[in-house]
Structure 1
C-alpha cells in the first residue's frame, strides 16, 4: 500500500485501523505530541498559513503535494516504504535468512535503544530551532525552516509508531519520554550532546542542516539496511524527506558566501572589520562556524572503537552506509580498519578489528560526503575571483568522544599544547564576539521577495514558484 490514507485521525499507510489497540495508543499519544508542538515548536507561528509539502504517497515520483496549511493542522502520520517481497538479511550473523517482521527476543533491548536514540534527535532539532522564525532573513527561508520542522516532527512519529507497535508497555513509556526530554534542559536533556547545543542564529541553522542533518542521512542509511524490516522500511521513507533538509543547509551557506563575495568585490577588500561594517559575514567567520559544526557532528558517530557497533552489525540491527554496494563478505570477521590514537604527542593510526571500528567507517564515509558540499561552496568563492578556500578541519580537531576526547589538535592535524590551543581557540572556533556579531545581523525580513543584506536570494523558488511568492501568510 503506497497511497496514504488521510481519512484516519492519524494518516498512515500501515492499515492502522486494523489494529485497534495500537490505534488507540497512538491516538492517546497524539494530543501530547500536539501540546509539545505548541509549547516547544516554532515560536509564535501557530496561525501562519505556510506553503508546505505533505506526503501523499511513498512512491519516489509524485510523493508530495504543496499547499498553504497552518502548522498545528499539518497531517503528521506514519509512512513506510512498500515491503520488498522475500527480503533477505544481507549482512551479519543472520545473513541469508528472511528479514524479520517481528523482533527476536534477544535483540529487543538493543533495537529499542537504537530507535529511541534516533527518535530523540527529531524533536530535539525542532526545540533547538524554535526561535529562529523571529529573525528570518526572508519569507523563503522562513518557509524552509518550517518545512524542516514539520518533517522532523513526522520523523518522531515514525519512531514512536515502531516503539508502540513492537515494544508494548516499554515502547509506550519511551514514546512519552521522547516528549519529556528537552534540548538543553539541565534536568532532562536530550540523549546526544550535539542536540543540546543552541542554534541561536541562521548561519548556525544552515551549518546544522548541512552537517548535522547529514549525520541523520548516514544514520538512517545504516538503519535502512536493518534485518528488522519495519525499521528498514520506515527509515527509507524518512530519507526521502531528509534530502530537503541538507539542501536547505548547503544552499543557505552558499547564499551567505555569495553575498559576502559580492560585497568583497564591491568594496575591493577582504578586511573582516570592513566587511562586518558593511553588514555581511566575513569568510574567516564562516570557516570558524564550519569548524564548530563539523567537529560537533562527527562526535555523533560515537567512539572510534565500539563493542556496541560490533554487536549491532553482527546481530543484523544496523548495517553500513550502502551496505549492498560493498564487495566484502558482509560479516567482517578477520578484517581490520585504521583508527586514530595519540602516542608520544603524535597522532598515529592503529589497526583494530573492523567490527569494532564500524562507527569510524561510517564517520569516514560521512566526512567524504561533507567535503563534497564544501568544495561546491569553494566554487562560489572561486567564481567571484577571491583567493580564499574553506576547508574541513582534521577529524581529530575539537573532539569530545572516544580515543581523541580532550586531545588538543589544530585544524591541520597537529597535536598541540594546551597553551597553543588557548592562544588560537578564537581563530579556529566561533568566539563570543563572532556569535554576537552574527546575532546582530539577525533582523526579521518577511516582505515577499525581500532578503536580509547578509544573504543572497536563491536561484529559484520552491516547487517552481517565483522567489517572491507568498510562502507564508501571516495572521
Structure 2
C-alpha cells in the first residue's frame, strides 16, 4: 500500500494516484531526494517558515499559491501543460506526423540524454547556492533565494517523473544518479561546466539568475517544441517558474546599480576606491562580473558546429526557440548560417549548414535577449545622470568550448596576443581582489524592511505584500 498521499504530498496532474508502477518508483526516490535536500539544500534553513509560492495545478488560480512553509515540507509537484488535441510534429523529418505520447525506440538514448542533462542543472544550482542564505542582504532577498531553490527542486522532480515514467530501469538509475553528482566535486561533478562554478556571493547569484537561468529559458523553449509530447508539456510549465528566476537576477542587479549610482551622486565621485570605501560595488566591478557570467553561460549552448544538434532537430527531439513563429520550411536541409572561426589571426565568418549550426542559432537568440536586460540596467545609470554604460562582451570573449575555445579575444571582439591577455584580463574578468571585496560586503540582514548598504530596496514586495513583510520566520 502506498505510504504517500500523492495528491496532498505531491500535487500533480499526471494521474499519479492511479499509476502504481510510478508510485513505487517515486516512493523509492523521494527519501533519497529529501536526504539530498537535507545535505545539499539551503544551509541552516530547515526550520525556517518561508513565504513561498507553491504550484498545486496549472490553471491561473492554482499555479501560484502563497503561504509560509518549511522548505523540507514544500509540496514539490509534477505538472504538465494541458494536452493540445491532435498535436502535430512541426519540424524535422517527422513534420506533420502526430506528436509522440511514448518514446520511440530509435530515439530512446538521445531523449534520455537530453532529459538527464536538463535535469542535472536543477540540483546543481541549488548546490551552488546553498550557502548564500547565510549572507542575505535582506529578508526579501532571502525569500527570493529560497523560492528559486524550491523551484529548481520542482524542476528536478519534473525531469525525474519523465525518467521514471518512460525509461524504466534505466530511468530509475538516472534519477538516482541525479542525486549523487555534486557541483564542483572532482570525482563526480555535474554534467555541464557552468554548474560546477562556485556562486560565492550575491552579486554572482544575481548574475547567475539573470544570465544562466536565461540559458535555462532558451533550452526549455527549445525542448517545449519537442515531438515527444510529455517533454514539451513538462517544459512549457517549467517556463512559468523560470521567469521568476530571471526576474530575481535582473531586478537584483538593477537594485545594486541603483544603490551604487546613489552613492556616486552623493559622494560626487566615480573613483572605485572611494566607492568601495563607502561600501558599494563600483560599476567597473559589476561589468567584470557581467563579462564572466555571460561568457561562461554562452558556452552552455555547446559547440558552434554540432552533429548532435542536427540530429536532435531532424529527429524532432529539440526545436529552435519559437520554432512555430519562423517562416522557413522547418527542415533546414538547404539553409546555411554564419559562424565564427579564427583564420589568419582574425575572427572571420564562414557559412555552414544551418542544421549543424543550431547551437549557434540558439546562442545568438539568447545573446539578443540578454542585451535587452542589460539596456534596462543602463537606463538606471542614465536616469542617475552618470556617463557609464554596461556592455555585453563579444561572443568570442573568454570562450572554453567549440571553435573559439582558448582564442584570446578582448570584450570588443579583437584577437589579442597571449601576453596582452595575461597583462589585461584582470580589467575584464573579476580578480581575486574583486571577489574578496564583494565577499567583504556580504553580511546577513534579517530585520524585516532592512537592506544591506550595497543594494537598494525593491519598488514593491512579493504578492502585494509590503516590502517590510516578514518573509522568513526564523524559528
- Which category describes the TM-score, using the shorter chain as reference length? over 0.9
Residues in 2 aligned to 1:297 and 1:61: alpha-carbon distance in whole angstroms: 34
**Which structure 2 residues correspond to residues 278-427 of structure 1 after superposition, within 5 A?**
278-427=278-427
The equivalent residue for 2:180 is 180
| 1:7, distance to aligned residue in structure 2 (A) | 3.4
**Which structure 2 residues correspond to residues 172-321 of structure 1 after superposition, within 5 A?**
172-321=172-321
Residues in 2 aligned to 1:62 and 1:190: alpha-carbon distance in whole angstroms: 33
TM-score by length of 1: 0.98
Conserved? CA contact 1:279–1:454, under 8 Å: yes
| 1:228, distance to aligned residue in structure 2 (A) | 0.1
Conserved? CA contact 1:339–1:352, under 8 Å: yes
Residues in 1 aligned to 2:122 and 2:427: alpha-carbon distance in whole angstroms: 32
The equivalent residue for 2:55 is 55
Q: Provide runs of 4+ in structure 1 moved above 4 Å.
A: none
Gaps of 5+ in 2: none
**Which structure 2 residues correspond to residues 113-132 of structure 1 after superposition, within 5 A?**
113-132=113-132
Residues in 2 aligned to 1:51 and 1:371: alpha-carbon distance in whole angstroms: 32
Residues in 2 aligned to 1:35 and 1:117: alpha-carbon distance in whole angstroms: 22
CA RMSD across the alignment: 0.8
Residues in 1 aligned to 2:9 and 2:324: alpha-carbon distance in whole angstroms: 37
Gaps of 5+ in 1: none
Residues in 1 aligned to 2:23 and 2:341: alpha-carbon distance in whole angstroms: 50
The equivalent residue for 2:451 is 451
Residues in 2 aligned to 1:372 and 1:94: alpha-carbon distance in whole angstroms: 35
| 1:6, distance to aligned residue in structure 2 (A) | 6.3
User: How many residues were matched structurally?
Assistant: 471
Conserved? CA contact 2:7–2:17, under 8 Å: no
Residues in 1 aligned to 2:386 and 2:244: alpha-carbon distance in whole angstroms: 29
Residues in 1 aligned to 2:379 and 2:424: alpha-carbon distance in whole angstroms: 28
Q: Secondary structure of 1:347's partner?
A: strand
Conserved? CA contact 2:55–2:77, under 8 Å: no
Conserved? CA contact 1:302–1:402, under 8 Å: yes
The equivalent residue for 2:462 is 462
The equivalent residue for 1:137 is 137
Conserved? CA contact 1:339–1:351, under 8 Å: yes
Residues in 1 aligned to 2:348 and 2:154: alpha-carbon distance in whole angstroms: 43
Conserved? CA contact 1:121–1:192, under 8 Å: yes
Conserved? CA contact 1:10–1:27, under 8 Å: no
Conserved? CA contact 2:99–2:228, under 8 Å: yes
Residues in 1 aligned to 2:325 and 2:59: alpha-carbon distance in whole angstroms: 23
Conserved? CA contact 2:58–2:81, under 8 Å: yes
Q: Secondary structure of 1:7's partner?
A: helix
Q: Secondary structure of 2:427's partner?
A: helix
Q: Secondary structure of 1:337's partner?
A: strand
**Which structure 2 residues correspond to residues 148-167 of structure 1 after superposition, within 5 A?**
148-167=148-167
Q: Secondary structure of 1:249's partner?
A: helix
The one-character-per-residue Cα deviations of 1:97-154 (angstroms, maximum 9, x if unpaired) are: 0000001100000000000000000000000000000000000000000000000000
Residues in 2 aligned to 1:361 and 1:100: alpha-carbon distance in whole angstroms: 25
Q: Secondary structure of 2:65's partner?
A: strand
Residues in 2 aligned to 1:168 and 1:57: alpha-carbon distance in whole angstroms: 26
Conserved? CA contact 2:12–2:57, under 8 Å: no
Q: Secondary structure of 1:51's partner?
A: strand
Residues in 2 aligned to 1:113 and 1:60: alpha-carbon distance in whole angstroms: 32
